[in-house]
Structure 1
Amino acid sequence: MKINGNEIKPGNVIEHKGGLWAAVKTNAVKPGKGGAFNQVELKNLIDGTKLNERFRATETVEKVRLEQKDFQYLYEEGDMLVFMDTTTYEQLELQKDFVGDRSAFLQDGMQVRVEMYEEKPIGVALPDYVTLEIVEADPVVKGQTVSSSYKPAVMENGVKVMVPPFIDAGEKIIVDTNEITYVRRAES
Protein backbone atom coordinates (compact mmCIF):
# COMPACT_ATOMS: atom_id res chain seq x y z
CA MET A 1 0.00 0.00 0.00
CA LYS A 2 1.48 3.34 -1.06
CA ILE A 3 1.46 6.24 1.40
CA ASN A 4 2.83 9.77 1.16
CA GLY A 5 6.09 10.59 2.92
CA ASN A 6 4.34 12.93 5.37
CA GLU A 7 1.99 10.09 6.49
CA ILE A 8 4.77 7.91 7.95
CA LYS A 9 4.17 7.40 11.67
CA PRO A 10 6.26 5.64 14.37
CA GLY A 11 5.68 1.89 14.18
CA ASN A 12 5.02 1.88 10.43
CA VAL A 13 7.07 -0.61 8.42
CA ILE A 14 8.11 0.57 4.97
CA GLU A 15 10.08 -0.78 2.02
CA HIS A 16 12.98 1.59 1.39
CA LYS A 17 16.31 1.21 -0.43
CA GLY A 18 15.68 -2.50 -0.98
CA GLY A 19 15.08 -3.32 2.70
CA LEU A 20 12.40 -3.40 5.38
CA TRP A 21 12.53 -0.48 7.80
CA ALA A 22 10.48 0.38 10.89
CA ALA A 23 9.84 4.05 11.64
CA VAL A 24 11.17 4.73 15.15
CA LYS A 25 10.69 8.52 15.35
CA THR A 26 9.09 11.02 13.02
CA ASN A 27 9.21 14.80 12.97
CA ALA A 28 7.08 16.88 10.60
CA VAL A 29 9.06 19.98 9.51
CA LYS A 30 7.53 23.02 7.81
CA PRO A 31 10.41 25.37 6.96
CA GLY A 32 9.81 29.01 6.06
CA LYS A 33 11.18 28.41 2.58
CA GLY A 34 10.64 25.26 0.52
CA GLY A 35 8.20 22.43 0.96
CA ALA A 36 7.31 20.57 4.12
CA PHE A 37 8.98 17.24 4.84
CA ASN A 38 8.94 14.44 7.37
CA GLN A 39 12.26 13.66 9.12
CA VAL A 40 12.10 9.93 9.91
CA GLU A 41 14.44 7.77 11.98
CA LEU A 42 14.33 4.26 10.52
CA LYS A 43 15.57 0.94 11.89
CA ASN A 44 16.33 -1.95 9.57
CA LEU A 45 14.28 -4.99 10.60
CA ILE A 46 16.83 -7.47 9.29
CA ASP A 47 20.20 -6.19 10.54
CA GLY A 48 19.18 -3.49 13.06
CA THR A 49 21.05 -0.61 11.38
CA LYS A 50 19.60 2.88 11.76
CA LEU A 51 19.05 5.55 9.14
CA ASN A 52 17.74 9.12 9.17
CA GLU A 53 15.77 9.98 6.05
CA ARG A 54 13.82 12.97 4.78
CA PHE A 55 10.54 12.27 3.00
CA ARG A 56 8.77 15.08 1.15
CA ALA A 57 4.98 15.15 1.21
CA THR A 58 4.94 14.49 -2.55
CA GLU A 59 7.08 11.31 -2.27
CA THR A 60 5.34 7.98 -1.90
CA VAL A 61 6.66 4.94 -0.05
CA GLU A 62 5.43 1.37 0.16
CA LYS A 63 3.90 0.64 3.58
CA VAL A 64 4.30 -3.03 4.46
CA ARG A 65 1.89 -5.10 6.50
CA LEU A 66 3.60 -7.72 8.60
CA GLU A 67 1.78 -10.92 9.41
CA GLN A 68 1.93 -11.90 13.06
CA LYS A 69 1.65 -15.59 13.91
CA ASP A 70 1.50 -17.29 17.28
CA PHE A 71 4.11 -19.95 17.88
CA GLN A 72 5.01 -22.16 20.82
CA TYR A 73 8.64 -22.64 21.82
CA LEU A 74 9.51 -26.36 21.81
CA TYR A 75 13.24 -26.89 22.32
CA GLU A 76 16.82 -25.90 21.48
CA GLU A 77 18.88 -28.05 19.14
CA GLY A 78 22.50 -26.94 18.80
CA ASP A 79 22.39 -23.31 17.69
CA MET A 80 18.81 -23.65 16.42
CA LEU A 81 15.57 -22.90 18.29
CA VAL A 82 12.50 -24.91 17.32
CA PHE A 83 9.01 -23.37 17.41
CA MET A 84 5.60 -24.77 16.44
CA ASP A 85 2.82 -22.83 14.70
CA THR A 86 -0.14 -23.08 17.09
CA THR A 87 -2.69 -23.27 14.24
CA THR A 88 -1.02 -25.48 11.61
CA TYR A 89 1.35 -27.40 13.95
CA GLU A 90 4.18 -26.81 11.44
CA GLN A 91 7.63 -26.44 12.97
CA LEU A 92 9.88 -23.45 12.40
CA GLU A 93 13.63 -23.49 13.11
CA LEU A 94 15.39 -20.20 13.79
CA GLN A 95 19.04 -19.43 14.51
CA LYS A 96 19.67 -18.60 18.16
CA ASP A 97 21.33 -15.34 16.97
CA PHE A 98 18.03 -14.37 15.32
CA VAL A 99 16.35 -14.14 18.75
CA GLY A 100 19.48 -12.67 20.33
CA ASP A 101 20.24 -12.37 24.06
CA ARG A 102 16.57 -12.78 24.90
CA SER A 103 16.72 -16.45 23.85
CA ALA A 104 17.86 -17.15 27.43
CA PHE A 105 14.31 -16.32 28.55
CA LEU A 106 12.62 -18.94 26.35
CA GLN A 107 10.86 -21.61 28.40
CA ASP A 108 9.32 -24.91 27.26
CA GLY A 109 5.82 -24.31 25.91
CA MET A 110 6.18 -20.50 25.96
CA GLN A 111 3.91 -18.63 23.55
CA VAL A 112 5.77 -16.19 21.28
CA ARG A 113 4.68 -14.02 18.38
CA VAL A 114 6.69 -14.25 15.16
CA GLU A 115 6.47 -11.40 12.65
CA MET A 116 6.50 -12.66 9.07
CA TYR A 117 6.98 -10.88 5.78
CA GLU A 118 6.24 -12.89 2.65
CA GLU A 119 6.34 -16.09 4.76
CA LYS A 120 9.84 -15.23 6.08
CA PRO A 121 10.32 -14.62 9.81
CA ILE A 122 11.80 -11.18 10.54
CA GLY A 123 11.24 -10.86 14.29
CA VAL A 124 10.28 -12.74 17.46
CA ALA A 125 8.38 -11.13 20.34
CA LEU A 126 8.62 -12.84 23.72
CA PRO A 127 6.17 -12.21 26.55
CA ASP A 128 7.08 -8.96 28.34
CA TYR A 129 7.45 -10.71 31.70
CA VAL A 130 8.65 -14.16 32.79
CA THR A 131 8.92 -15.84 36.19
CA LEU A 132 12.34 -17.27 37.04
CA GLU A 133 14.00 -18.69 40.13
CA ILE A 134 17.06 -17.09 41.71
CA VAL A 135 19.83 -19.70 42.04
CA GLU A 136 22.53 -17.46 43.45
CA ALA A 137 22.29 -14.16 45.35
CA ASP A 138 24.92 -12.19 47.22
CA PRO A 139 24.34 -11.85 50.97
CA VAL A 140 23.10 -8.52 52.27
CA VAL A 141 25.86 -6.20 53.50
CA LYS A 142 25.11 -4.67 56.92
CA GLY A 143 24.30 -1.00 56.69
CA GLN A 144 22.86 -1.20 53.18
CA THR A 145 19.65 0.77 52.84
CA VAL A 146 16.74 -1.06 51.26
CA SER A 147 15.60 1.83 49.08
CA SER A 148 18.74 2.57 47.11
CA SER A 149 20.83 -0.57 46.86
CA TYR A 150 20.32 -3.61 44.74
CA LYS A 151 22.54 -6.67 44.76
CA PRO A 152 23.58 -8.98 41.90
CA ALA A 153 21.81 -12.32 41.53
CA VAL A 154 21.90 -15.16 39.01
CA MET A 155 18.65 -16.61 37.67
CA GLU A 156 18.05 -20.24 36.68
CA ASN A 157 18.74 -19.38 33.01
CA GLY A 158 22.24 -18.12 33.92
CA VAL A 159 21.42 -14.45 33.34
CA LYS A 160 22.52 -11.93 35.98
CA VAL A 161 20.04 -9.37 37.29
CA MET A 162 20.08 -6.76 40.05
CA VAL A 163 17.55 -7.52 42.83
CA PRO A 164 16.54 -5.85 46.12
CA PRO A 165 18.42 -7.03 49.25
CA PHE A 166 15.44 -9.06 50.56
CA ILE A 167 15.56 -11.51 47.59
CA ASP A 168 17.43 -14.74 48.32
CA ALA A 169 18.41 -17.87 46.37
CA GLY A 170 15.43 -20.18 45.83
CA GLU A 171 12.90 -17.36 45.45
CA LYS A 172 10.98 -16.77 42.24
CA ILE A 173 10.92 -13.30 40.70
CA ILE A 174 9.24 -11.67 37.72
CA VAL A 175 11.66 -10.25 35.16
CA ASP A 176 11.09 -7.79 32.30
CA THR A 177 12.41 -9.58 29.17
CA ASN A 178 12.89 -6.32 27.25
CA GLU A 179 14.97 -4.46 29.82
CA ILE A 180 16.29 -7.59 31.64
CA THR A 181 15.38 -6.06 34.99
CA TYR A 182 13.74 -7.23 38.22
CA VAL A 183 10.04 -6.27 38.41
CA ARG A 184 8.74 -7.87 41.60
CA ARG A 185 8.71 -11.02 43.71
CA ALA A 186 6.50 -13.73 42.19
CA GLU A 187 3.41 -14.89 44.08
CA SER A 188 4.01 -18.32 45.60
Structure 2
Amino acid sequence: MAKVLATEIRVGNLIEWDKRIWRVLKCYHVHVGGRGGAFMQVEMKDIEAGTKTNQRIRTEDKVERAFVEPREMTFLYQEGDNYIFMDKENYEQLSLSRDFLEGQYEYLLPNTDVQVNFHNDRAIGVQLPASVVLTITDTEPNLKGATATSSYKPATTETGLVVMVPPFVLQGERIKVNTDSGEYIERM
Protein backbone atom coordinates (compact mmCIF):
# COMPACT_ATOMS: atom_id res chain seq x y z
CA MET A 1 0.00 0.00 0.00
CA ALA A 2 1.14 3.49 -0.78
CA LYS A 3 1.22 6.33 1.70
CA VAL A 4 -0.09 9.69 0.52
CA LEU A 5 -0.21 13.09 2.18
CA ALA A 6 -3.56 14.05 3.66
CA THR A 7 -3.76 16.94 1.18
CA GLU A 8 -3.79 14.39 -1.68
CA ILE A 9 -7.00 12.72 -0.46
CA ARG A 10 -9.83 13.11 -3.00
CA VAL A 11 -13.50 12.17 -3.11
CA GLY A 12 -13.83 8.53 -4.20
CA ASN A 13 -10.38 7.53 -2.91
CA LEU A 14 -10.08 4.37 -0.87
CA ILE A 15 -7.92 4.67 2.21
CA GLU A 16 -6.99 2.41 5.09
CA TRP A 17 -7.88 3.91 8.46
CA ASP A 18 -8.03 2.01 11.76
CA LYS A 19 -7.30 -1.27 9.91
CA ARG A 20 -10.42 -0.89 7.75
CA ILE A 21 -10.96 0.28 4.19
CA TRP A 22 -12.94 3.50 3.80
CA ARG A 23 -14.30 5.33 0.75
CA VAL A 24 -13.93 9.11 0.90
CA LEU A 25 -17.32 10.81 0.46
CA LYS A 26 -16.31 14.43 1.13
CA CYS A 27 -13.06 16.14 1.91
CA TYR A 28 -11.95 19.71 2.23
CA HIS A 29 -8.96 21.64 3.46
CA VAL A 30 -9.43 23.68 6.63
CA HIS A 31 -6.88 26.30 7.64
CA VAL A 32 -7.11 27.51 11.20
CA GLY A 33 -5.44 30.86 11.74
CA GLY A 34 -3.13 31.54 14.64
CA ARG A 35 -1.50 28.63 16.37
CA GLY A 36 -3.66 25.85 15.02
CA GLY A 37 -2.36 24.01 12.00
CA ALA A 38 -4.20 23.23 8.80
CA PHE A 39 -6.02 19.93 8.44
CA MET A 40 -8.20 17.95 6.07
CA GLN A 41 -11.78 17.32 7.17
CA VAL A 42 -12.66 13.93 5.65
CA GLU A 43 -16.07 12.25 5.64
CA MET A 44 -15.73 8.58 4.78
CA LYS A 45 -17.75 5.38 4.69
CA ASP A 46 -16.58 1.95 5.79
CA ILE A 47 -16.98 -0.30 2.75
CA GLU A 48 -17.61 -3.40 4.89
CA ALA A 49 -19.96 -2.13 7.60
CA GLY A 50 -21.42 0.86 5.75
CA THR A 51 -20.86 3.17 8.73
CA LYS A 52 -19.78 6.76 8.22
CA THR A 53 -17.26 8.81 10.13
CA ASN A 54 -15.70 12.26 10.02
CA GLN A 55 -11.98 12.56 10.65
CA ARG A 56 -9.64 15.51 10.96
CA ILE A 57 -6.28 14.62 9.51
CA ARG A 58 -3.35 17.02 9.81
CA THR A 59 -2.06 18.11 6.41
CA GLU A 60 1.46 16.84 7.13
CA ASP A 61 0.20 13.36 8.10
CA LYS A 62 0.26 10.49 5.64
CA VAL A 63 -2.49 7.91 5.16
CA GLU A 64 -2.40 4.49 3.55
CA ARG A 65 -4.12 4.28 0.20
CA ALA A 66 -5.81 0.87 0.01
CA PHE A 67 -4.43 -1.65 -2.50
CA VAL A 68 -7.08 -2.01 -5.13
CA GLU A 69 -7.35 -3.48 -8.57
CA PRO A 70 -8.68 -0.75 -10.88
CA ARG A 71 -10.76 -1.83 -13.87
CA GLU A 72 -11.85 0.44 -16.69
CA MET A 73 -15.60 0.16 -17.12
CA THR A 74 -18.41 1.92 -18.96
CA PHE A 75 -21.73 2.83 -17.38
CA LEU A 76 -24.44 1.32 -19.59
CA TYR A 77 -27.85 1.98 -18.05
CA GLN A 78 -29.94 2.23 -14.91
CA GLU A 79 -32.33 -0.57 -13.97
CA GLY A 80 -34.49 0.48 -11.01
CA ASP A 81 -32.08 1.29 -8.17
CA ASN A 82 -29.21 -0.58 -9.84
CA TYR A 83 -26.61 0.83 -12.19
CA ILE A 84 -25.16 -1.51 -14.81
CA PHE A 85 -21.49 -1.23 -15.83
CA MET A 86 -19.53 -3.18 -18.46
CA ASP A 87 -15.88 -4.19 -18.13
CA LYS A 88 -14.00 -2.86 -21.17
CA GLU A 89 -11.66 -5.87 -21.32
CA ASN A 90 -13.91 -8.90 -20.98
CA TYR A 91 -17.34 -7.29 -21.52
CA GLU A 92 -18.72 -8.72 -18.27
CA GLN A 93 -21.49 -6.69 -16.70
CA LEU A 94 -21.55 -5.50 -13.10
CA SER A 95 -24.57 -4.20 -11.20
CA LEU A 96 -24.02 -1.64 -8.43
CA SER A 97 -26.76 -0.29 -6.17
CA ARG A 98 -27.73 3.36 -5.73
CA ASP A 99 -26.65 3.09 -2.07
CA PHE A 100 -23.19 1.89 -3.17
CA LEU A 101 -22.89 4.87 -5.54
CA GLU A 102 -23.99 7.37 -2.89
CA GLY A 103 -23.20 10.89 -4.07
CA GLN A 104 -21.93 9.65 -7.45
CA TYR A 105 -24.92 8.30 -9.39
CA GLU A 106 -26.14 11.80 -10.32
CA TYR A 107 -23.06 12.23 -12.53
CA LEU A 108 -23.62 9.04 -14.54
CA LEU A 109 -24.89 9.15 -18.10
CA PRO A 110 -24.93 6.13 -20.44
CA ASN A 111 -21.50 5.48 -22.01
CA THR A 112 -19.63 7.33 -19.25
CA ASP A 113 -16.20 5.77 -18.70
CA VAL A 114 -15.32 5.20 -15.05
CA GLN A 115 -12.77 3.28 -13.03
CA VAL A 116 -14.25 0.67 -10.70
CA ASN A 117 -11.92 -0.37 -7.90
CA PHE A 118 -11.90 -3.95 -6.66
CA HIS A 119 -10.51 -5.37 -3.43
CA ASN A 120 -10.43 -9.18 -3.14
CA ASP A 121 -12.54 -9.44 -6.34
CA ARG A 122 -15.29 -7.27 -4.85
CA ALA A 123 -16.25 -3.83 -6.14
CA ILE A 124 -15.47 -1.30 -3.43
CA GLY A 125 -15.53 2.07 -5.17
CA VAL A 126 -16.05 4.03 -8.36
CA GLN A 127 -13.71 6.77 -9.59
CA LEU A 128 -15.61 9.24 -11.76
CA PRO A 129 -14.03 11.42 -14.46
CA ALA A 130 -12.96 14.88 -13.21
CA SER A 131 -15.94 16.50 -14.91
CA VAL A 132 -19.06 15.55 -16.85
CA VAL A 133 -21.28 17.38 -19.33
CA LEU A 134 -24.97 17.42 -18.37
CA THR A 135 -28.07 18.97 -19.93
CA ILE A 136 -30.21 21.40 -17.92
CA THR A 137 -33.81 20.15 -17.73
CA ASP A 138 -35.24 22.79 -15.41
CA THR A 139 -34.17 26.26 -14.27
CA GLU A 140 -35.62 29.70 -13.78
CA PRO A 141 -35.83 31.83 -16.95
CA ASN A 142 -33.11 34.33 -17.81
CA LEU A 143 -33.63 37.86 -16.54
CA LYS A 144 -32.81 40.91 -18.66
CA GLY A 145 -29.56 42.55 -17.72
CA ALA A 146 -28.25 39.46 -15.88
CA THR A 147 -24.48 39.28 -15.95
CA ALA A 148 -21.94 36.63 -15.07
CA THR A 149 -21.11 38.43 -11.83
CA SER A 150 -24.61 38.29 -10.33
CA SER A 151 -25.88 35.59 -8.02
CA TYR A 152 -26.34 31.99 -9.06
CA LYS A 153 -29.63 30.12 -9.49
CA PRO A 154 -30.47 26.42 -9.05
CA ALA A 155 -30.70 24.25 -12.16
CA THR A 156 -31.77 20.61 -12.37
CA THR A 157 -29.86 18.37 -14.79
CA GLU A 158 -31.04 15.32 -16.73
CA THR A 159 -29.72 13.03 -13.97
CA GLY A 160 -31.54 14.89 -11.18
CA LEU A 161 -28.44 16.69 -9.91
CA VAL A 162 -29.14 20.27 -8.79
CA VAL A 163 -26.30 22.65 -9.67
CA MET A 164 -25.98 26.36 -8.93
CA VAL A 165 -25.46 28.10 -12.30
CA PRO A 166 -25.09 31.71 -13.49
CA PRO A 167 -28.34 33.43 -14.53
CA PHE A 168 -27.49 33.32 -18.25
CA VAL A 169 -27.67 29.48 -18.34
CA LEU A 170 -31.00 28.37 -19.81
CA GLN A 171 -33.06 25.19 -19.88
CA GLY A 172 -31.86 22.78 -22.58
CA GLU A 173 -28.25 24.00 -22.47
CA ARG A 174 -25.33 21.74 -21.65
CA ILE A 175 -22.96 22.53 -18.79
CA LYS A 176 -19.73 21.04 -17.50
CA VAL A 177 -19.87 20.02 -13.82
CA ASN A 178 -16.99 19.16 -11.46
CA THR A 179 -17.65 15.64 -10.08
CA ASP A 180 -15.67 16.25 -6.88
CA SER A 181 -17.52 19.37 -5.74
CA GLY A 182 -20.70 19.35 -7.85
CA GLU A 183 -19.94 22.90 -8.97
CA TYR A 184 -20.67 24.49 -12.34
CA ILE A 185 -17.52 24.90 -14.46
CA GLU A 186 -18.70 26.27 -17.80
CA ARG A 187 -21.46 26.32 -20.38
CA MET A 188 -20.80 24.09 -23.38
| TM-score, structure 2 normalization | 0.69
Deviations 1:93-128 (A, max 9, x none): 111110113212211111111111111111111112
Alignment-derived partner of residue 160 in structure 1:
162
Aligned length: 162
SS of the equivalent of 2:104 reads helix
1:49 pairs with one of 46, 53, 62: 53
Question: d(CA) in 1 for partners of 2:101 and 2:155?
Answer: 23
Alignment-derived partner of residue 71 in structure 1:
73
Question: d(CA) in 1 for partners of 2:138 and 2:23?
Answer: 39
The CA RMSD measured in Å over matched residues stands at 3.4
Give the residue type in structure 2 aligned to 1:99: L
1:95 pairs with one of 94, 97, 110: 97
Question: d(CA) in 1 for partners of 2:65 and 2:131?
Answer: 31
- Structure-to-structure mapping, 1:112-131, within 5 angstroms: 112-131=114-133
Alignment-derived partner of residue 84 in structure 1:
86
SS of the equivalent of 1:100 reads coil
Give the residue type in structure 2 aligned to 1:87: E
Identity of counterpart residues, as a percentage? 37
Give the residue type in structure 2 aligned to 1:122: I
Give the residue type in structure 2 aligned to 1:106: L
Question: d(CA) in 2 for partners of 1:62 and 1:102?
Answer: 23
Question: d(CA) in 2 for partners of 1:101 and 1:147?
Answer: 29
Give ranges in structure 1 of 5+ residues lacking alignment: 26-39, 54-60
Question: d(CA) in 2 for partners of 1:65 and 1:51?
Answer: 21
Question: d(CA) in 1 for partners of 2:109 and 2:131?
Answer: 12
User: 1:73 offset after TM fit, Å?
Assistant: 0.8
Distance 1:118 1:162, change over 3 A: same
Deviations 1:33-60 (A, max 9, x none): xxxxxxx98845413424579xxxxxxx
CA contact (8 A) 1:45 1:122 kept: no
User: 1:141 offset after TM fit, Å?
Assistant: 4.2
| TM-score, structure 1 normalization | 0.69
User: 1:75 offset after TM fit, Å?
Assistant: 1.3
Question: d(CA) in 2 for partners of 1:15 and 1:161?
Answer: 32
CA contact (8 A) 2:146 2:168 kept: no
User: 1:145 offset after TM fit, Å?
Assistant: 5.2
Distance 1:133 1:13, change over 3 A: closer
Question: d(CA) in 2 for partners of 1:185 and 1:77?
Answer: 30
SS of the equivalent of 2:99 reads helix
Could you say which structure has the larger radius of gyration?
1
Distance 1:150 1:94, change over 3 A: same
Give the residue type in structure 2 aligned to 1:185: R
